[in-house]
Structures are given as structure tokens and as C-alpha cells.
Structure 1
Amino acid sequence: MRAIVVEELGGPEVLRPAERPSPVPGAGEIRVDVTVAGVNFMDTGSRRFGPPGVGVPFVPGVEGAGRVSALGAGVTDFAIGDRVAWVYAYGSYAEQLVLPAASAVPVPESLTDETAAGVMMQGLTAHHFVTEAAPVGPGDITLVHAAAGGLGQQLTRLIKLRGGVVIGLVSREAKADVARAAGADHVLVSTGDRFVKDVMELTDGEGVHQVYDGGGETTFRASLSVARRHGTVLYYGPLIGASPVVTMRELPNSVKVCYPVFHDHIPTREALLARTAEIFELVGTGQLKVPIGGRYPLAEAARAHRDIESRATTGKLLLLP
């Protein structure tokens, strides 16, 4: 079977197609014929620095959808031919993948494989942010960085479903309409820390209740400055430049700072099934959209990485084996 193999860490050029043996599932595992693999910005970090606990060579990608083609011993939750989706299963940039059966979820017939694969990482992440890590209540004013990106759009939609008001930041005017279409109430074109004055004007000097900041160190202190008293700054930008360093006494307005860990939202299989079922229901009823920003043949994974790193894309990028 064909896979994208990283034999040395580096730029997009290290993402090279290669032939590998068809994997065999062990006890408690399933093999899936991959139909769609999701491309996430975190994949670029894995390509440059290596996945945690995984050496080179490795097959990148942690998210996708497909059909079960083989069962390991003891697997009873799935049958051959079942449609499944997954997240945080390394090796997804491939025609076939072996993963723990406990990490896969059934895909409703009402959803396409593209939709299921496209919502797993960003849908669960956005759900984590707005329901547990920095919960949004009716009337809360939120600031969403990179509001035209795949995660930014999902955040905006879920915030609106919870009755919040969204101020969306985009890096260029061409992305403003994308953020508005996702539901942003106000859209600011801004890079770096230039958004502070406009955000404070929009909130009558009070600041926002929550900030969702994936911009890295360059935006973190500005995000702190626009959080209102007892507001929350949720930071998720460790792959974008250096992580910010701040002392406790520097935190203004009694704000809270959160660094969300994905698995804290789905610590058990029961939680994974419940969260994904809720998200799939929102997508199935049209309340949550999964905008596709680009489709690439598996062999063109390097081009997908160049595009996502250029910040010129909007929506979800997918690889099609």
C-alpha cells in the first residue's frame, strides 16, 4: 500500500510517497482502508520536529475516515465494511491504517467520509474550547483569532449556537467574508497585536469574556490586554513560533489562562462516542458546517503542507488516497 513517509525532519519536501507492506491489526485493533485523511496545522509541526514519542521514519497524519478491512483478535464493536472515523491515530497519510478499535467511531450514513474526516480534529477541538476549557454563555463576547481558518470557523459556529457574540480576526481582507459567512458578528483585519484598540472600542472599553488565541507569542500579550475582568485567554499556539512566557503577577484583570489538552475532552471511549455523536448530529442537522478548503491526491501531501503554512487557505484541507 502507498503512504507518505517522513524519513528526515524538515520542510514540506520531506513528505514523500513510498510503498509499504499492508499493515496487519493486532489484538484490539482494526485495519481501515483510508478514503480521506485530514490535514491539520499540527501535522506541520510533526514534520519539522517529529511526533511526540515517535521516531523517524514515520507516516504523518492523525485524522481521517474510511472502511474497516480487517479485525484484530477480540474486536467486537466493528465489522468488516463498517464506515469509521478517527482522530489522533498517527499514520493517517496512507491508503491503509491500523489503529486501536477504541479510537474509532462509527460514521452515520447521513455524513460523507469527507465531512466525517473534516470535523473530527477541528470539531472536537472547538467543542472542547467552548464547552469545557473556556465555556461560552449567552451574551458573552468572544475574540476568535484566525477566524477564517478551519478551526476558527468551527469555533465561530459553536459560539453562535451557544448565544455568544464573535469578534473574528483575519490576516487579510480576502478572508473577511469567510469569517462573516461562518457567523462572526464583527470582523477585524489585523496581524500581530494591532487589534487591541478596535476590540476595546467594540466592547466599550470592557474587553471580551473569552479569547481563543492560536497566534503564538506575537499575539498572546495583546490577547491578555483585551480580556475583561475575570475573562479567559485560551492559548493553543505552541507550533507557531516560541511559546509565551509570563509571570503570574503580569496577568491583568484577574484573567484566567488556559492551555487546553485535546485528550482531556475525550479521556474515555464513552466520552469520545458522546462528543462525536453530538458533533455529527449538529453537522447532520445543518447547524454546524464543514467547509472544505482544498482536496489533494495523497501523493501531493507536500503541496497541501505548503498551502496550509502559507496562511492563504480557508476551511479544511483533505488528502484523498
Structure 2
Amino acid sequence: MEETLPNSARLFRVLFYWRDMMKAWVHHETGTPDVLGLVDRPQPRPARGEVLVRNRAVGLNPVDWKFISWGHAAWKWPHIPGVDGAGEIVELGEGIAHLRLGARVAYHNDLPRPGSFAEYTVIPARAAIPLPDALSFEAAAALPCPGLTAIQAIEKSPLWPGAHVLLTGASGAVGGALLQLARSRGWIVHAVCSAAQSARVLRLGAATVLDYHQDDWREIAAKRAANQPLNAIFDMVSGEHAASLAPLLTANGHLVCIQDRQEKTPLPPFTTTISLHEVGLNAMHAHADDAQWSRLVGAGAAMASDIVSGRFDPQIIDVESFDRLPVALARLEHGPNPGNRVVVL
């Protein structure tokens, strides 16, 4: 049958096929980033409450390589990973009134869904962060996961200008974003990071820096806390690590775990009566309502505007081409990562 079609009809069929196809990085099994393969996949279509984004840049995050290694029970194989991206809306699902075709947006997509490692991605419309025209897609793609996580973390602690806080992992993507947000609120930040990153962390606004490679950094932090009480601790390491720092907090302080949670209270009852907080950005997709998403997206949009005005540093350390995405992801896995890694299409 194909041979009997005129050349124009065959050409139309080819063009129609490629119009509805896209390049995507997929994997059929768990493993390291080299299990990813670049293939042709059908373009997805948005359902009600969703939009289709043509990706111009993709933000890489530790959660990407971790879940490529671990897998997820909700995934359908082959799976397209990636949670962060930025681009233009090219198709609207039903019921979308607050967004328009061609709008420039960034997004954090739900982890179980097909992700951002593709030319096109369907996202929930409520997760679309509007972008100023002057903001590059590279900078925008570095914003969602680190920036929104930092926003969630900082909102756990209702502190005042002049409050003292301790921040571990201050040189990383989330830590650097949180540090900048804390300084914008007038908090005094005592950062913990490697000595190699201390100068950059001080430029971002830290008041003091401790090198976590130094054996006695905890003792130094404890002596300082005895003289200057800490109102909050933001920990990027683990629940166990955060619990070990809890004694440094003053009465009614806040212990915020970003990499883990506290399964049990780390201090005796009726002592400093600290508040325990966990942070989980992806949990917003399943458990947050539209009003919560609206506030989070609004905060993300404000952060995007602050990048343009120079009030917020997106901390981009690596920009790679889309065809080398697994290479960039491997660099992220092995570190160090004093900032964000981005892939451009």
C-alpha cells in the first residue's frame, strides 16, 4: 500500500509522524545514568488541568540520579525521568484559564510522572511558575527543586529579623538558595560547608562559616550557641545528623530536616520544647491543595524576578547540551556540586 501512495502523500505522512514525535532520554531498568538512552517517543498530550511544555532547559537534581538507581513503584517502563524544566507552553488541557499558549514557565513535576528529560513534558497547570521575559531558560531550570524546597524549609520557621540560624550543607543548591532567602529576611546565618566553598558562601550572605571536615566543628558550634542562642537549624544531611545538632537550639527553636525526618524526638520532654519539621517538595503533588500550590508558585515567580534583578543567584556551575545529559547527570552524582547543573535543548 505504501508504494502506491504519491510522493506528496508519503512526505505528508513522514512530516505528520515527526511532528508528533519527540526526543527523550528513557531507561528500561534501574542503574547508573548510563542506563539512559536517547530515543524517539510520541509527544504526550495534556489532560484536563494539565499543560504541555516545550522544554528549553532541564534542571538536574540529586533526586534524578537517585530514583534512576532506585526506581519507583508507580513508573511505567520505559520511563522518562527528570523533575525540573523550563520552556514554553504549547498546548493547554481543558479547564485552563490562568495560562496562555506561548507562556514562559518553569516547573517541578511529580516524580511518578514522565519527566523533563525530553523535548516535551506534560505538567499539572498549577505547578507552572511564570517567568519574566528577561530570565534565561537556563537560570529558570535551576530554580524549581532547589528554590521551592528552600522556600518550604524557610517557611517552617516563623522567625524575626536578627534571629540566628545554623545551616548545614550551605554550599549546595538547596543550601545556597536557603541561605539567600534567610538573609533576605534579615536572619543571621551560621553556615557549615567545606573550606573550599567558604568564600562563596560568605559572598551569598553567611555571617560565619565552619568547615565540616574539621573534627571539632560541632564543639565550636556548641560554644558559639552557648553565647549566642540559635533559633533554628536547617540540616541537609540526614535525620540522625539533625538530631545530633538539636541540643544547640534555644528554647522553642526549630529543627528543620530537608534530607530526612525525625522519627522520634531528639530531646527529653519539657526541656527546650523545640519544634520538629520535615520538608518534602514532591509530597505537594499528592497532598497539597490548589491554594497551597498558588502560594508556592507565587514565591517561585518572585524568586525568578529576583534572579533578573540580581537579588538572587541561581548558582549555575555547569551547562551541558541535551545530547550529553547522562554525562552531566553522572557529574552531579559524583560531585562536588557547589550549585546547580543544567542541560539545554
> How does the TM-score come out when normalised to structure 1?
0.88
Partner of 2:187: 164
Deviation at 1:85, TM superposition (A): 1.4
- The aligned runs of 1:170-249 (5 Å cut-off) are 170=193, 172-191=194-213, 194-205=216-227, 207-217=229-239, 219-238=241-260, 245-247=263-265
RMSD: 2.5
- The aligned runs of 1:54-203 (5 Å cut-off) are 54-89=75-110, 90=113, 91-130=115-154, 132-170=155-193, 172-191=194-213, 194-203=216-225
- Describe the SS at the equivalent of 1:133: coil
Partner of 1:258: 277
Contact 1:85 1:106 in 2 (8 A): yes
Deviation at 1:161, TM superposition (A): 1.0
CA gap of 1:155–1:312, structure 2 versus 1, over 3 A, is: same
Query: In 2, distance between residues paired with 1:163 and 1:315?
Result: 23
Per-residue CA shift, 1:239-281, capped at 9, x if unaligned? xxxx664356557632221112332787534324432233233
Query: In 1, distance between residues paired with 2:124 and 2:329?
Result: 27
Contact 1:139 1:164 in 2 (8 A): yes
Contact 2:153 2:258 in 1 (8 A): no
Amino acid at match of 2:235: D
Amino acid at match of 2:196: A
Per-residue CA shift, 1:78-106, capped at 9, x if unaligned? 33322121112441111111223232132
Query: In 2, distance between residues paired with 1:229 and 1:302?
Result: 47
Contact 1:4 1:299 in 2 (8 A): no
Please, which moves more after superposition, 135-144 or 66-75?
A: 66-75
CA gap of 1:249–1:222, structure 2 versus 1, over 3 A, is: closer
Query: In 2, distance between residues paired with 1:302 and 1:133?
Result: 35
Deviation at 1:156, TM superposition (A): 0.9
Query: In 2, distance between residues paired with 1:318 and 1:193?
Result: 34
Amino acid at match of 2:151: H
CA gap of 1:279–1:228, structure 2 versus 1, over 3 A, is: same
Query: In 2, distance between residues paired with 1:266 and 1:286?
Result: 32
Amino acid at match of 1:85: A
Q: Work out which of the two has the higher radius of gyration on C-alpha atoms and give 1 or 2.
A: 2
- Describe the SS at the equivalent of 1:97: strand
Unmatched segments (≥5 aa) in structure 2: 1-21
- Describe the SS at the equivalent of 1:44: helix
CA gap of 1:221–1:101, structure 2 versus 1, over 3 A, is: closer
Deviation at 1:232, TM superposition (A): 1.1
Deviation at 1:288, TM superposition (A): 1.6
Count of aligned pairs:
315
CA gap of 1:216–1:193, structure 2 versus 1, over 3 A, is: farther
- Describe the SS at the equivalent of 2:58: strand
The structure 1 residue matched to 2:337, chosen from 296, 310, 313, is 313
Per-residue CA shift, 1:202-251, capped at 9, x if unaligned? 3344542111111014522322132222211101113xxxx664356557
Query: In 1, distance between residues paired with 2:314 and 2:28?
Result: 32
Per-residue CA shift, 1:6-42, capped at 9, x if unaligned? 2111222223322211222233332211001111122
Contact 2:225 2:249 in 1 (8 A): no
Unmatched segments (≥5 aa) in structure 1: none
> How does the TM-score come out when normalised to structure 2?
0.82
Please, which moves more after superposition, 178-187 or 96-105?
A: 96-105
Partner of 1:36: 57
Contact 1:200 1:206 in 2 (8 A): no
Query: In 2, distance between residues paired with 1:311 and 1:250?
Result: 38
- The aligned runs of 1:278-289 (5 Å cut-off) are 278-289=302-313
Query: In 2, distance between residues paired with 1:103 and 1:192?
Result: 41
- Describe the SS at the equivalent of 2:42: coil
Amino acid at match of 1:42: V
- Describe the SS at the equivalent of 1:246: coil
